[in-house]
Amino acid sequence: MIEIRTFRDLLRLFFIFFREFKLAVVATLVVVLLGAFLLPTSFESSARLLVKPGRDTNTLPIEVADRQSIVMPATQRDPILDEERMLTGRPISRQVAERYLEELANAPRPEGFLPTVKYYVGQAVSGAIELVRGFFQLLGLAEEQTPVDRLATKLEDKFSVTHAPGSSVMEIRFRWSDPAVAQSVVQSWVDLYLEERTRALGRRSLYDFYLNQSEASSAEILKLKQELTAGLDELGAIGMEAHLQNLSERINQLRTDRFNTRRLISSTEGSLATLDQQIKSLPAEISTSREVALNPVQQDLLRMLNGKRAERQDLLRTFTENAPPVKSIDETIASLEAMVKAEADTLQVSQNRAPNPIAERLRSNFMDQQSDLARLKAQLIRQEEQLNILEEERVKALSVEPELARLQRELTAAEKNFALYDESLEKARIDRELDNSRISNIAMIEQATFNPSRVFPKSLLMLVLALPLSILVGFLAIYFCYLLDQRIHDGGRFADKFGVPLWTTLPEVSGDPTQNSAFLAALYRLYGLLPLDQVGERGLVFGLTSARRGEGVSFIIGHLRRLLEERGYKVRVGDAPAQSGEIVLLDASALLSSPESFVNLRRADLVALVVEAQQSNIPTVAHAIGVLNTAFNKVDGVIINRRRFEVPDRVLRVIAKVRGAV
């Protein structure tokens, strides 16, 4: 744990891990130098093939190739990818491997000392590899492979073919340890590819295939047309869709007519009921003329009434109105008046009668509507019969419609396929003639090149970059060591890390510590943190402890005791309680391995943990602080001992000179 705040801290970090830096630099430098001289060389040979557009590059199926309105161009595969896959296929690589093994067997042994040594070393290594491979095959950990298969796999790994997007040029590259062999392999590979491609794409049987398919499609079309015609003849139609539409229109029209007929029947029946009521309410005959005379009975009664009235007037001359004769005649007058009122004034003497013309007209209308009602009912029956017949025909048509629709779809597809097969038949004939003439759409625009300059390793570049790369790796090693280092180098971030205040940091001294100003300043800082006000009243017990032995507890106690005595305090080192005016310094080192340290620290007023720089690590210190907090519920402070400033003096002097010059 080191805090990086200034450039001097970076220098400290560099010199802290200077050993690791040197090891990383030396190791990287050795690896790069050995690689520059000992890595197997690799040479590259290249060639270029032009794939001319033609029917050979058309990879779409026949049913889709002629339907450009359906297939989007973005969905079409790049035909050159298929050429690349054929070029890198195992059959061609195997033939190249067989040819290479034949040439290698007939090749003479290399001449010269170094080539001879490399040859025999290679033979020995190959023999050892064969023994190891045989052992693994015996154990069942590897499968048995022929030398040709192994060489073909190796050639495929070294062989690559690419093309730029949208380009029709295939770029072939092959890497090998010998430039002449690389050129020979590329040339053999291309030649074998062209031969195999011409042989594999020979479409002598394609013409016969399209011819047979065209004839089969023609026979299928004839068969489907016969079946479709038989089904339509059974229905008496020329087309299923038109027949169903005609039936639907006729059924809809009949249903409309039936509805209108039922409505007319209902209205006619209502009209007949109304006419019948009107006819019954009218008289059958009416009088055309009649003769009227006065009623003779009424006239006789009036004459008698007038006589009685005259007789009453005569009686009133003699009698009063209440006299019996007058009352008797009044009763007679009243009886006659009632009889007169009961009789009619006139009497019909004669009349002429005739049939009622309105009733006759209504009867005529009634009979007409009855005939219309009978006609409408007969019409409704005919409509019902026709509707039933049409619905039966429609049900029959719908029952056979799926089969006829299937036949129609198959007929349409067969006609399209026949057209495509017929067109492809002509293309196949042209392709067959091209194959017979050995005409290909692959052209070699660049022969296999002979390139004597190596592509790997770049020894000169590796030698130039060896030192910078080694230094960079060294700095990376310093960075990783900084990340992985758990040691405590100084007190930076100590309080934030452990939650315990850092009292002082004592530097490492080589001579007399009393002559070192930095050491004395750090010791006086510790002296200033002690609560010396309570020494006169009850004394002070100051306990110093450490996680392990050898961290400088006794050293700090000795120098602190001398400083306190110089300042006039009575100081004692031990474990007895402090008296008034006395300071007791407790030595409780090796806290984690000495149980007596816990007993001594129980009487301490202050507890300080001593941590040796570059020796103590974060887990140990954290564990010690946790133990102290658990046992005494406090750790008053931490003292960093033997802090080293790793930057050499000569480096500091150089930096000082540079600053002075600036």
pLDDT digits (tens, 9 = 90+) for 171-186: 999 888 888 888 888 8
Other CB atoms within 10 A of residue 188 CB:
18
| CA separation for the pair 621, 546 (Å, rounded) | 9
Please report, for residues 5, 127, 129, 131, 242, the alpha-carbon distance to residue 141 in angstroms, rounded to integers and kept in the order given.
Answer: 57, 19, 15, 14, 74
Residues 6+ apart with CB under 8 A from 158: 174, 175, 176
Partner residues linked to 49 by β-bridges = 170, 444
pLDDT of amino acid 86: 82
447 close to 45: Cβ distance less than 8 angstroms: no
Question: Which contiguous run of DSSP H or E holds residue 439?
Answer: none
- Give the pLDDT of residue 28: 93
Asked if pLDDT for residue 661 goes beyond 70, the answer is: no
Q: At what angle do helices 357-436 and 204-235 cross, to 10 degrees?
A: 170
Which residues share a beta bridge with 175? 44
> What six digits make up the tokens of 34?
């050995």
Q: Per DSSP, what are the bridge partners of residue 52?
A: none
The predicted pLDDT at position 23 comes to: 95
The answer to whether 100 and 185 have CB atoms below 8 angstroms apart is: yes
Domain residue ranges in the chain: 40-201, 234-267+360-429, 285-355, 488-661
What pLDDT, on a 0 to 100 scale, did the predictor assign at position 27? Answer: 95
The neighbouring-strand residues paired with 293 are: 347
Strand partners, 32: none
Distance between CA atoms of 492 and 482, rounded to whole angstroms? 15
Question: Do 44 and 173 meet the contact criterion of CB atoms below 8 Å apart?
Answer: yes
| Highest-pLDDT range among 50-64, 210-224, 590-604 | 210-224
Bridge partners of 543, per DSSP, are 586, 607
CA distance 357 to 285: 9
- Report d(CA 622, CA 328) in Å as an integer: 160
Signed CA dihedral, 563, 568, 572, 577: sign only: negative
Q: What is the C-alpha separation between 644 and 652, in angstroms, rounded?
A: 14
Q: Is the pLDDT of residue 67 over 50?
A: no
CA-closest candidate to residue 12, choices 652, 497, 657: 652
Decide: pTM greater than 0.75. no
What CA–CA distance (Å, rounded) separates 397 from 237? 10
* pLDDT given for residue 115 in this prediction: 66
8-state DSSP, 448: P
**Distance of alpha carbon 306 from alpha carbon 309, whole angstroms:** 5
Indicate the pLDDT class of residue 53, thresholds 50, 70 and 90: low
Measured distance CA(14)–CA(22) in Å, rounded? 11
Residue 550 DSSP label? T
Predicted confidence (pLDDT) at residue 359 exceeds the cutoff of 90: no
For residue 490, give the nearest of 4, 3, 146 by alpha carbon. Answer: 3
Cβ pair 51, 170 in contact under 8 A: yes
* Average pLDDT for 418-426: 84
pLDDT value of residue 368 = 87
Preceding amide of 324 cis, omega within 30: no
The answer on pLDDT for 300 being more than 90 is: no
Give the per-residue pLDDT at 147: 83
From the CB of residue 217, how many other CB atoms can be counted at a distance below 10 Å? 20
- Which pLDDT value is given to residue 411? 84
pLDDT score for 467 = 92
Alpha helices in 508-634 (DSSP H): 517-529, 535-538, 553-566, 595-601, 618-632
CA distance 344 to 245: 82
Is residue 60 scored above 90 in pLDDT? Answer: no
How far apart are the two ends of the chain, measured CA to CA in Å? Answer: 33
Taking residues 415-444, what's their average pLDDT? 74
Give the integer Cα–Cα distance in Å for 579 and 556. 22
Judge whether 354 and 286 are in contact, CB under 8 Å: yes
Distance separating alpha carbons of residues 614 and 634, to the nearest angstrom:
25
Between CA 313 and CA 319 the distance in angstroms is 10
Contact criterion met (CB below 8 Å) for 506 and 640? yes
- State the chain's mean pLDDT as an integer: 81
288 vs 352: CA distance, rounded Å: 5
Tell me the pLDDT tens digit for each residue of 493-510. Answer: 777 788 888 898 888 887
The reported pLDDT for the residue numbered 64 is 39
Note the pLDDT of residue 354.
Answer: 72
**More confident of the two residues 365 and 30:** 30
* Cβ neighbourhood burial of 74 (10 Å; 0-12, 13-18, 19+): exposed
Q: Which residue has the tokens 């106690």?
A: 557
Q: What is the DSSP letter of 487?
A: B
Find out whether 505 and 489 touch, Cβ atoms under 8 Å: no
Nearest to 230 by CA among 2, 40, 56, 403: 403
Integer Rg of the chain from CA: 66
What CA–CA distances, in Å, run from 658 to 5, 11, 399, 650, 654?
20, 15, 107, 12, 6
Least confident of 63-77, 371-385, 445-459: 63-77
Which of 78-82, 261-265, 302-306 has the weakest average pLDDT? 78-82
Contacts of residues 240-243 at CB distance under 8 Å and 24 or more positions apart, as own/partner, are: 240/397, 240/401, 240/404, 240/405, 240/408, 243/397
The two tokens of residue 157 are 């790994």
Residue of 10, 457, 410 whose CA lies nearest to 224: 410
pLDDT at position 114 is: 59
10 Å CB burial of residue 397 (0-12, 13-18, 19+) is buried
CATH topology for the 488-661 domain: Rossmann fold (3.40.50)
- Kindly list the distances between the CA atom of residue 425 and the CA atoms of 63, 178, 521, 557, in Å, as whole numbers in the listed order: 13, 50, 105, 108
Tell which wins on pLDDT, 422 or 511. Answer: 422
Q: Which amino acid makes up residue 524?
A: Y
Tokens for 573, please give them.
């080192």
Query: CA 421 to CA 137: how far, in whole Å?
Result: 54
